Amino acid sequence: MRAMSRPVGLPVLAESDLVRQVARRLTDAIVQGRLPPGAKVAEAAVARELGISRAPVREAARLLESQGLLKASPRRGFFVRELSSQEVDELYDLRLCVERHAAVEAARRLTPARRDALRRQLDLMHEIARRDDPATIVEADYQFHRLICEAAGNGRLLRLFDGLASELRIVIGLIGRLYDDPAEIARTHEPVLAAIEAGHPERIVAHVDHHLGVARREVVRLLESLAPPKPSRILPPEA
């Protein structure tokens, strides 16, 4: 008899829009590190834990595969995607391009309501940091950056950001591991918002470059440290 897979803390779902609800639960588990890169998403175990049939779990897995979070393996099922350090570096390269422009446009279009929304999100990040909840604060981090893209007023740019963020959600969970102090994540956003409020394009770009550049370097370094060592090359004996 096969042993049952270990639960990962997924709450039971109600009977409405099951596929999207399952996708959301699995995404949360990935972002929070409960389903780490390379982990198998066992349909039967997930369905049993959520109290539903396997069909919506399979559809949710296919949806997350299309978003780049899962990878299907023939006859083996779905696995949490493993991103290489090069792939993450490329994602951050594109993210820098998107968010530089978004932040400058957000400053140009900044209204009191949008400024208040950004301030409230930053206040929320500080509040979550005081509760010492790293998984939630990195999700709040994502929402802060998305608000900047929303404030830019460009729907296509927002969809581009969401596409990049979908892949980066695997990495977002690692961001919490870059800082021993959760409040540091919130503090690193203060200069970005201050520059947007001041409305100086050069200063905005400089702060976005620094903010994302630090995360880019550290996440790539962390991924490289987690990668298995490459096998040593065995040289043929000298004649």
Give the pLDDT means over successive 10-residue stretches in the chain (239 positions).
65 70 88 83 93 93 89 92 87 94 97 97 92 78 94 95 82 65 85 96 96 88 72 56
> What is the spatial distance between Cα 209 and Cα 97, in angstroms, rounded to a whole number?
9
What confidence score (pLDDT) does residue 176 get? 59
What angle, 0 to 180 degrees and rounded to 10, lies between the N-to-C axes of helices 155-175 and 18-31?
50
What is the reported pLDDT for 168?
79
Q: Say what angle helices 85-108 and 134-151 make with each other, to 10 degrees.
A: 50
Q: Where in the chain is the domain with CATH 1.10.10.10?
A: 18-80
| pTM greater than the 0.95 cutoff | no
Region(s) of the chain under CATH 1.20.120.530? 85-226
Please name the amino acid found at residue 72.
A
Q: How many residues does the chain have?
A: 239
Question: What confidence score (pLDDT) does residue 139 get?
Answer: 81
CATH number of 18-80: 1.10.10.10
What pLDDT was estimated at residue 58? 94
CA 163 from centroid of its chain's CA atoms: 11
Class of domain 85-226: mainly alpha
pLDDT at 166 (0 to 100): 78
